[in-house]
Structure 1
Amino acid sequence: MLGGVSRARASVVASRRDFPAPYQVLKMGQIWKRTDVEAWIREHRPDLADR
């Protein structure tokens, strides 16, 4: 688990249309900017923003 989120759940969330585009795509996977993900959480899941 990554930060209390399973790899499967993270994949589901990252595939949402409103989730930020990855900063970079590598052979090993996609990479997002932390600030983009945190902003998305504040907007779409404010109940989780303080975790």
Structure 2
Amino acid sequence: MVRRLYGSAELQERLQVSRARVVQIVSRPDFPEPFDRLAGGAVWLVEDVEAWITEHRPHQARDANPDEC
């Protein structure tokens, strides 16, 4: 089974925010816990982040823009 992961750079791109904003977002108590912490930083499971986006940023959910998938 292949796990898809987001690091902070992928979160920046996916959420279209700055690096500083990613730090703020991942510090929120409602943001998913990292799947693991590596030497390069934390990583999150894509499905956990996408579920969070659907709940907290529905305008950015994959279903909100079918051409984005």
* Same topology, TM > 0.5: yes
TM-score computed with the length of structure 2 as normaliser: 0.66
Deviation of the 1:28 alpha carbon: 1.5
Match of 1:23 in 2: 35
Amino acid at match of 2:54: R
Distance 2:38 2:58 in 1: 30
Q: What number of residue pairs does the alignment pair up?
A: 51
Would you say 1:32 and 2:44 are equivalent positions? yes
> Percent same amino acid among aligned pairs?
49
Is it true that 1:44 corresponds to 2:61 in the alignment?
no
Which structure is larger by alpha-carbon Rg, 1 or 2?
Answer: 2
RCO (CA 8 Å, sep 6+): is it higher in 1 or 2? Answer: 2
TM-score (norm 1): 0.85
Structure 2 unaligned blocks of 5 or more: 1-8
* Large movers: runs of 4+ above 3 Å: none
Tell me, in whole angstroms, the C-alpha distance in 1 between the residues paired with 2:29 and 2:19: 18
- Stretches of structure 1 lacking an aligned partner (at least 5 in a row): none
